[in-house]
Amino acid sequence: MKRKKWIVSKTDKDFAAQIAQDLNIDPFAALLVTSRGFDNIDEINDFLDYEAPLTLSPLSIADMSKAAERINRAIDNFELICVFGDYDADGVTATALLYSYLETRGANAIRYIPDRLTEGYGLNIGAVEELADRGVKLIVTVDNGVSAIEEAKRAKELGIDLVVTDHHKVGDVLPDAYAVVDPHRPDCPSTFKEMSGVGVAFKLVCALEGDYGDILIEEYGDLVALGTIGDVVTLTGENRAMVRRGLRILNDYPRAGINALMESASVSDKLFTASTAAFMVCPRINAAGRMGSANKALELLLCDDDKISELVAYEIQKMNAERQATETEVFRSAERKMSESDIINDKIIVVDGEDWHQGVIGIVAARITEKYGRPSIVISRDGENAKGSCRSIEGFSIYDAIEYASDTLDHFGGHTLAAGIGLKSSDIEAFRKKINEYAKDKEMPFAVQKIDCKLLPSSISLDILDSMNLLEPFGAGNPQPCFGLFGVRIEDIVSVSEGKHIRMVVSKNGTRTGVVYFGMREQLFPFDRGDVVDLAVNLDKNIYNGDTRISVIVRGIKHSETNEEKVLDSFRLFDKFSRKETLSAEEAAKLLPDRQLQVEVYKSIKQKPLKDKYCEAVCVRIGDDGGNLAKICAVIEIMLEMGILETDSYGTVRVPENPPKVNLEDSAIMKRIRSFLS
């Protein structure tokens, strides 16, 4: 378990009381609002207003009027228009939205989504040439195109006009297109920059209709909501207003295809929330593009026949099951490669494999980043060529890092926290070195565990859930509230669901509370009964047989008895040593364990094996506040090197039956630490 930095948000009880009184809302909801950083009553009122209108003028986005003019002319002249989309949930919903709108206008339109495996992301020259052969006169991209420099040139050579609508970061050069609609253009005057691809496509439709969107959102809000949530853009500002309206449609009258997806995910009889979209529906839309053809998902979104929708949704459900199995296989393979090399210690983890399924490498990168708390890039080699997917942590722009190493790449694109790359297989090692060179002199941020506010177990009730509802929808920029249960004692730990998860009972001040930790196996859980811990938890409603209860779901855990700052400083130092960087004499002194500490660590592990060699459990056992954690990590590595400690298949550290008699001063690790002292 990689340690995160815990940050408890500041709350203003006096201001919360004023908010509750002035806006006539629940006091606890008002307190949560203050934890989100709001300090203006009018802004809070807009944030909480479920009837808030859409306020962003579509024509405030650069080139939007040019795009609308060209598309309207193509509709009037019955020119063949191609909506060119992308294979993820954002791109598929954007394609469905614009294509279905053009149909209502009687346009001569077709749609095209590239194949992830054979064509890759975005506009490509082969597709442009094929569309030219089919007589296309206008290509309108959605959720892609801003980096299609060569493709735009080829389209122009073939007599095709190109209108780009995108939301990704722009490079130094824009494509030579009739219009480039992207809020991230430096010259774009739009006051809201964080729309998804489907959000930009929706604003294009608004421009075509001469409307801000309050009327059109009733027709396309469901697609906007799914794509916006699926692309994990911020659910604030205009996005929040659009998603709220879309969720209402998804609950009241979902279109046939989406309803079939909901039924296949067993959520059709439940309230459709942003979480439903993010964890149940959007992954199924994505699965079609990852494992087969995104056109299946597009077909489903455009379908208005219940029986056909049911059949297509069943096919997509099978693709999703295949995606889950493939994802697990690639993740395990990546972990094996990482454990067999030093790349696991790099500031930016770059791991590659031959023929890893390109449809799942993005999810695998996200899992690695979550587990190790570092930016990661997972690359799939296919002979001479390779493609990679990148994920990062808050506070570190993976896009900027990739841009620094771009001389080793064929192409790249993306956002601050997620990106994609293409390169030659022979250049992977050069890329790994170059991107870590970028990070070398930067103090990498720790992944953050944010806490909205602290709670006592005795305060947990269904009333809190009612208070939270006012802040919906939750997502990026407005996450589901996370509460801190600090200083609770673990009374019991039980494996559930065939060992896939654990359920705990924790207590404080006489109140016992059940909590569940999904995805954590007991064999890997580095805490024991009797430990006093801090928990980061989400609260959710669980309805079973008509009985409504509250579920307490663990999102993070740490020992209560260690000092946060000392622990993080120790991890930073030990990580630096593990990367084989040069240490100062002062840093080396903080790593060098004395004889007494060596004995204490050995005795502690002999008495009770250690499930995570880098956790704070040994500190707690020997009464250390975390100040010596770097030394403790060094001791464990030294003893593993010398054979007086060993690890099993789960990574548990223990004393072997017949440990050898050795002198720890002979350890290569010990000698290396001492070398910095001389």
Task: Give the residue extent of every domain in the chain.
Answer: 5-9+449-559, 58-210, 341-443, 564-675
Query: Rounded distance, CA 530 to CA 518, Å?
Result: 21
Strand, coil or helix: 493: strand
Q: What's domain 58-210's architecture?
A: Alpha-Beta Complex (3.90)
Q: DSSP alpha helices (H): ranges in 441-518?
A: 462-468
Query: Rounded distance, CA 519 to CA 500, Å?
Result: 6
Chain mean pLDDT for the chain: 94
Query: Rounded distance, CA 678 to CA 664, Å?
Result: 19
**Number of other CB atoms surrounding residue 519 within 10 Å:** 10
Q: Is the pLDDT of residue 565 over 70?
A: yes
Q: Which residues are registered as beta bridge partners of 488?
A: 533
Provide the total of helices (H) and of strands (E) in the chain, helices listed first. 25, 20
* Residue 332 Cα distances to 319, 327, 356, 365, 610, angstroms: 20, 9, 11, 12, 22
In angstroms, what is the C-alpha Rg of the chain? 27
| Across 518-540, average pLDDT | 94
Just give the CATH number of 5-9+449-559. Answer: 2.40.50.460
Q: Is the pLDDT of residue 169 over 90?
A: no
| Across 647-660, average pLDDT | 92
| Packing angle of the helix pair 217-230, 89-104 (nearest 10 deg) | 160
* Residue burial 420-458, b: 16+ Cβ < 10 Å; e: rest: bbbbebebbeebbebbbebbeeeebebbebbbbbebebe
| Across 482-502, average pLDDT | 96
Just give the CATH number of 341-443. Answer: 3.10.310.30
Hey, what's the torsion of the CAs at 561, 563, 568, 570, to 10 degrees?
Answer: -90
| Across 533-553, average pLDDT | 88
| Across 231-240, average pLDDT | 92
Q: Give yes or no for a contact between 264 and 244, defined as CB atoms under 8 angstroms apart.
A: no
* Residue 154 Cα distances to 161, 305, 422, 574, 636, angstroms: 10, 39, 20, 52, 60
- Mean pLDDT check: name the lowest of 194-203, 586-595, 608-617, 649-658: 608-617
Query: Rounded distance, CA 178 to CA 663, Å?
Result: 74
- Mean pLDDT check: name the lowest of 313-317, 390-394, 412-416, 524-528: 412-416
Q: Give yes or no for a contact between 84 and 110, defined as CB atoms under 8 angstroms apart.
A: no
Q: Could you read off the pLDDT of 365-379 as tens digits, one per residue? A: 999 999 999 999 999
pLDDT, position 414: 81
Closest CA to 486 of 513, 518, 523, 516: 513
What are the φ/ψ torsions at residue 626 (nearest 5 degrees)? Answer: 110, -10
Query: Which amino acid, 374?
Result: R
Q: Is the pLDDT of residue 644 over 70?
A: yes
Strand, coil or helix: 391: strand
Query: Rounded distance, CA 141 to CA 354, Å?
Result: 31
| Across 641-645, average pLDDT | 96
pLDDT, position 650: 85
Reported as type and span, the H/E element at residue 515 is strand 511-517
pLDDT, position 1: 52
Residue 212: which pLDDT band, with cuts at 50, 70 and 90? confident
Q: Which residues are registered as beta bridge partners of 529?
A: none
pLDDT, position 441: 87
Q: Is the pLDDT of residue 165 over 90?
A: yes
